Amino acid sequence: MTSPHASRPTPITVLGTGAWGTSLARLATANPGNVVRSWSRSSPETLEAVVADAEVLIIAIAMQGIVKLSKRLQTIGLKEQTIIVTATKGLDPETHLSPSRLWQAAFPRHAVAVLSGPNLSKEIDRGLPAATVVASTNEAAAQRVQTLISSDRFRVYTNTDPLGTELGGTLKNVMAIAVGACDGLNLGTNAKSALMTRALPEMVRVGVKLGADPETFLGLAGLGDMLATCSSRLSRNYRVGYGLAQGQPMAEILQALDGTAEGVNTTEVLLAIAKEHQISVPITKAVHALIHGRMDAKAAVEVLMDRELKPETLGLL
């Protein structure tokens, strides 16, 4: 696909210089038609300077910083044509909104896109092939971002369901904690496969209730991301569950991580959403009890295994 903007350089700014933000900046830089700048709170340049000419703004910061950053950018102002791309996975604890909905509320006249998929940054940095999804209700914006960051080692797909795309990437972090605990207890492949299979409809039930397309969860941003996160010790959320199952204190586990395990905070918000909308989330409840020390990993697994016998239905709605 040839971009209508390909004849001139495209200014792209990446906000966030953690592992994922750095990887995204490298991917964007690989396209010779892009001029890429990165920024964090420790950068010598001001935020005003790096966003002034940006036509694409990729935001890869932790969930806890979204509201504060959006208010700063509202004060600064963005070019009318700037596309906001959120690569954050999480839910706001106060509003229960996803990052894209927070950004759209802050900048209602701007195109907002979600970038999410099975993307372990350490593998991408090694040049290993990967695929992702860019989703937006503005199809032209999604296609432009697709063109700007695609390469022979990073395949980008588009869809029109930004909420489902980011919920897939967000909710699987909770499931990864559960799977990490399963592996930490050495329960075997059968138990792990059963847990992951039941995790998917739990994610779909939440997503559909909030307005997402159920099919999105069967793609890269749902099932694909869950398989990657639940199968690799590169995943911080997986390592949280694994460490808890090994008897490590939560504070010690979090201190050893090279970044934020968003699944810990997401579990709190997800459980509140489930209560509000009366959604069945047994795995989330078990993870919440495990995180807060009300139940050890062995007891959490026993609770899931002792649920009433019933037919195997997906129970998506």
At 87 the three-state DSSP class reads: coil
For residue 38, what is the enclosing H or E element?
A: strand 34-39
275 is catalytic: no
Residue 38 vs residues 15, 18, 25, 88, 221: alpha-carbon distances, Å? 6, 10, 7, 16, 25
Spatial separation of the C-alpha atoms in residues 276 and 274, rounded to whole Å: 5
Catalytic residue, candidates 172, 192, 298, 310: 172
Alpha helices for the chain (secondary structure H): 19-29, 47-51, 66-76, 99-106, 121-125, 139-149, 162-184, 188-210, 225-230, 236-245, 250-256, 262-277, 282-291, 297-305
Query: What does 93-142 look like in DSSP terms, one character per residue?
Result: TTT---HHHHHHHH-TTS-EEEEESS--HHHHHTT--EEEEEE-SSHHHH
Residues annotated as catalytic (active site), given as ranges: 172
